[in-house]
A = this chain, B = another copy of it.
Amino acid sequence: MENQATQARPLFNKIVLIGVGLIGGSFALSLKKVRAVEHIVGLDRHLASLESAKKLGIIDSLSDDMATAVADADLIVIATPVAQTGKILQAIYPYLQARTIVTDAGSTKADVVAAARDSLKEKFKQFVPAHPIAGREKNGPDAALADLYVGKKVVITSVAESLPAAVGVVAQAWKMCGAIIHYLSPQEHDQVFASVSHLPHLLAYTLVADIAAKPHADRLFQYAASGFRDFTRIAGSSPEMWRDISLANREALLQELDSYTEQLSKLRQSLVIGDAQALELIFRRAQEARLNWITAIEAAEAQSKDGGD
């Protein structure tokens, strides 16, 4: 249905994509695939990334001039490490027309919403905070995929001021990428992702860094196998991106980290005193919870393939 509508008239004449890496690049490729956009202008700190993105068909043209790029845009998408969002919104503000929608793809939302409120002032209502729950361990435009978001969740954390029409357009764009839209408040979002995403990243980075710092690291890595590979896959993620996420979501992340280390310390004590029953109980609870989760996820995926929204 959406597909047919876009064949008649694309949803967007012009999108400005700020940050042309994995996340922004995949969004662009997805919209181009369904012909939802006429022209995408790319901006990026790294000229080499812009050139790659143009070669890969992610963007149609590149620019380093915010004023010209932004002037007649339908949609501006910020897909950079989250710490840059405020500065970019400040640069956009003077040129932002009333009809233009601004959105982002950052992994933290309370800080982004606060930065947008400060930077965009009376135009804050045009900003739609969003977070696509998808990724790969590779970064940059080369890693972008036209089907990265198919069947994946996008969390929109719009607030009281957000223009409903703007929220609707951003939701429609993500649906055209194949994503499933969820709504949470920025605070709910940040608590949830501190727990199931940000903390695991910290734990995986710390394990690899700890092993790498040991004098016999080479021997240790030699015997690391598939379990280690999967456990540490997220430690292959962008250090700058995760530095920003960690700091932006510091409060919720510290809370989750402290809850986790408390559990780990209990487990350590069971190990010290050789409490086999306590160890097995923790392992069994985890195994069961994970199995239930996987079963639910797979059922939901099967249902969404059967034609649900």
CB of A232 to closest CB in B, whole Å: 6
Provide the bound-state CA to CA distance between A206 and B289, in Å: 12
Contact A227 B211, CB 8 Å, known A220-B195, A250-B271, A271-B254: no
Contact A223 B153, CB 8 Å, known A210-B263, A279-B246: yes
Contact A227 B247, CB 8 Å, known A208-B289, A264-B261, A290-B236: no
Provide the bound-state CA to CA distance between A224 and B214, in Å: 32
Contact A203 B197, CB 8 Å, known A230-B234, A283-B243, A289-B217: no
A46 within 8 A of B: no
Contact A209 B240, CB 8 Å, known A221-B196, A227-B234, A293-B224: no
Q: Which of A213-250 contact B (CB under 8 A)?
A: 213-214, 217, 219-221, 223-240, 242-243, 246-247, 250
A276 CB contacts on chain B under 8 angstroms? 243, 247
A278 to chain B: closest residue by CB? B243
A227-B293 in contact (CB<8A): no
A9 CB contacts on chain B under 8 angstroms? none
- Of B211, B223, B254, B259, which is within 8 A of A210 by CB? B259
Q: Which of A42-94 contact B (CB under 8 A)?
A: none
Give 14 CB contacts A-B under 8 Å. Answer: A133-B225, A196-B220, A196-B223, A196-B224, A205-B267, A206-B264, A208-B289, A213-B263, A227-B233, A231-B234, A235-B283, A237-B283, A243-B283, A247-B274
Chain A residues engaging chain B, CB cutoff 8 angstroms: 133-135, 152-153, 155, 182, 192-193, 195-197, 199-214, 217, 219-221, 223-240, 242-243, 246-247, 250, 253-254, 257, 259-261, 263-265, 267-268, 271-272, 274, 276, 279-280, 282-294, 296-297
